[in-house]
Amino acid sequence: MTLDAVAWDALRLSLWVALWATFIAVPLALWMAWILARRDFWGKSLLNALVHLPLVLPPVVTGYILLVLFSPNAPAGAALGAIGLTLAFKWTGAVLAAIVMGFPLMVRAMRLAIEAVDPKLEQAAATLGASRIGIFFRVTLPLITPGILAGAVMGFAKAMGEFGATITFVANIPGQTQTLPIAIWTALQIPGGEGAAAAMALLSCAVALGAVFLSEFLARRVAARIAGTA
Amino acid sequence: MKLRLKHSFGGFTLDMEMTAGAGITALFGRSGAGKSTVINAVAGLLRPDEGLLEIDGETLMDTARGIHIPPHKRRFGAVFQDARLFPHLNVAQNLDFGTRYAPRGVKTPRADVIDLLGLSPLLTRAPATLSGGEKQRVALGRALLSAPRMLLMDEPLASLDGARKQEILPYLEHLRDGPLGLRIIYVSHAVDEITRLADTLVLLKEGRIATQGPLRDVMADPAAVPLLGVREAGAVIEAEVISHADDGLSQLRISAGMLELPGVQAAVGSRVRLRIMAQDVLLATQRPEGLSALNVLPVTVQSIRQGTGPGVAVALQAGTDILLARITRRAVTTLGLHEGAQVFAVFQATTVAPESIGH
């Protein structure tokens, strides 16, 4: 295999993993953000701490915990294995690691957006005859869309860059779990691999910049729509 | 509508019972009297400790029986002090939001509402670009389009300046008198709005109903003077426009006689509401001569009510109407006023400001 092929494989895998992670994590993060922003219950601060744990824990520890929980012999791993979903040393495991690591960032962005919505607007919608679901889709959701987009981009960027938890949980298998950051690290371990590492680092920068531009563009469009100038 | 409420929060207890029928029922009280709590409970946005709400034979809330119909099924349109327009929708879309949830068959014609409130130049505008008065008109239109069985208005003019208020008030009068015949609960702490709009007045004080009844009766009740504020109290009476003179004065007939007032816009033959401030009415035991005041009415002292200070509120029978005068205790003694005494009420024509003459 040429270095080029390794690089493209790694990029393709990283994009694949990051897209899946974002796709799965957005609704979950939105739900969690909603609960933390709007509900009051016993153990809320504990849940909040749990969500934010991956942000402060060494990524290696997070990866280790995932390994302990989701290895094929562990209860959670066995249960998923029974329905044909293997995580350990598979790209699916890289997706899980990316979700867990990006989750606190996504929840935070979305929670701030939800808390910024004036509940009085939702009350006004209720007096006009809108049900809870109607209020959510016609009032709340449009107003928090910039926050959801911001959270999604954060999560995507985090997934593209995730290293510690991923390599600990699913190791370094080319084409299967060797994401772009892991491929860069691998290239740096090989004498003469600096060139490949630099090429892949540039690739990484390009993707990151593209994501930021896209999110800025979308956020501006949404903001313009909310301000009613578009 | 019949409402009974009992609700405690933050050391404050609301305990009241009121009814509201046709026309505009004004709920008046100083800030902190519990007015907004009443509106929120009626709208279903607040679950009171105890309460009962019935309208058109339907029970919307009865804590004793565990009934709490959610706000979106109550069909009360609400207009709040802050217009609460949806910032992500333009004016037309805000109006459509009201139409969307109106039950089939009772939809209010959109064109009529746009016409009534003068909204057509605003339709493509974003809420953020509207003035305070425009926002309230849109909020009112949106509420009307939801085809409410009753409109709840919580201090809708409180955040507007005098000119903007004058811009909205005629629309509210149209609603009251127009073909929609809408029932409205109107919360306010502004006596001028209430005297202009209300048919029924409910006075709320520290969470309790102080008095309630037809506007004219409550405004003419000396006991209501301290509740409304001594500067704001005064009878509201109805008059018929007889003629307009060249010098700007108009002749109006009330049950006790003729009045000369300036600045009356209404057409000859129409009926208008007059507000005669209690502190602007003087009493004389003999018909005064050589006085610059144009309006002198023979009246009978109906009751004298002592306030806590040097002031006294005197109810005066003038024809079939009641006028209120606020004079000093010393004047009562000097003039020898007593119930049944025949006196003359004197007030300058200028004391009834044009903007307080309603249609």
Helix H or strand E segment including B314: strand B311-318
Sign of the CA dihedral running B50, B56, B60, B66: positive
A:B CB pairs within 8 Å: 79
CA-nearest residue of chain A to B96? Answer: A128
Query: Is residue A36 included in any domain, yes or no?
Result: yes
**Measured between alpha carbons, how far is residue B29 from residues B8, B26, B38, B156, B173 in Å?**
18, 10, 11, 15, 21
Which candidate, B337, B299, B344, places its Cα nearest to that of B319? Answer: B299
At residue B317, the pLDDT reads 94
Q: A123 to chain B nearest CA, in Å?
A: 7
- Find chain B residues with C-beta within 8 A of A125's C-beta: 86, 97
Q: Can you give the CATH number for the domain in which A96 is found? A: 1.10.3720.10
Which candidate, B52, B29, B51, B48, places its Cα nearest to that of B210? Answer: B29
Instruction: Dump pLDDT digits (tens) for A28-85.
Output: 999 999 999 999 999 999 999 999 999 999 999 999 999 999 988 888 888 888 888 8
Quote the CA–CA distance of B74 and B80 in Å, as a whole number: 17
Q: Is B92 on the interface with A (CB under 8 A)?
A: no
Q: Which amino acid is at A126?
A: A
Judge: B146–A225 Cβ closer than 8 Å, yes or no.
no
Query: Is residue A229 included in any domain, yes or no?
Result: no
Query: Is residue A154 included in any domain, yes or no?
Result: yes
Contacts 24+ apart (CB under 8 A), B50-54: B50/B4, B50/B5, B50/B6, B50/B7, B51/B3, B51/B4, B51/B5, B51/B6, B51/B7, B52/B2, B52/B3, B52/B4, B53/B1, B53/B2, B53/B3, B53/B4, B54/B1, B54/B2, B54/B3
Judged by average pLDDT, the poorest of A32-36, B166-170, B293-297, B314-318 is B166-170
Instruction: Dump pLDDT digits (tens) for B83-136.
Output: 999 999 999 999 999 999 888 777 778 898 898 888 999 999 999 999 988 999
Q: How many domains does chain A have?
A: 1
Quote the CA–CA distance of B193 and A103 in Å, as a whole number: 54
The percentage of residues in chain B with a pLDDT greater than 70, rounded to a whole number, is 96
CA-nearest residue of chain B to A118? Answer: B84
Query: Is residue A220 included in any domain, yes or no?
Result: no
Structural domains of chain B, ranges and CATH numbers in brackets: 2-219 (3.40.50.300), 234-356 (2.40.50.100)
Quote the CA–CA distance of B105 and B102 in Å, as a whole number: 9
Judge: B72–A138 Cβ closer than 8 Å, yes or no.
no
**ipTM of predicted assembly, 2 dp:** 0.84
Quote the CA–CA distance of B116 and B114 in Å, as a whole number: 6
Based on C-alpha coordinates, what's the Rg of chain A? 20
Do B86 and B94 meet the contact criterion of CB atoms below 8 Å apart?
Answer: yes
Helix H or strand E segment including A168: helix A164-170
Q: A113 to chain B nearest CA, in Å?
A: 14
Query: Is residue A230 included in any domain, yes or no?
Result: no
Tell me the three state secondary structure of residue B111: helix
At residue A229, the pLDDT reads 47
Residue among B36, B68, B72 with most chain A CBs within 10 A, to mutate: B72
Which candidate, B226, B216, B170, B227, places its Cα nearest to that of B193? Answer: B170
Quote the CA–CA distance of A94 and A177 in Å, as a whole number: 6
- The whole domain housing A42 covers 16-177
pTM assigned to the model: 0.83
Query: Is residue A194 included in any domain, yes or no?
Result: no
Q: Which amino acid is at B120?
A: S
CA-nearest residue of chain A to B98? Answer: A128
Judge: B72–A129 Cβ closer than 8 Å, yes or no.
yes
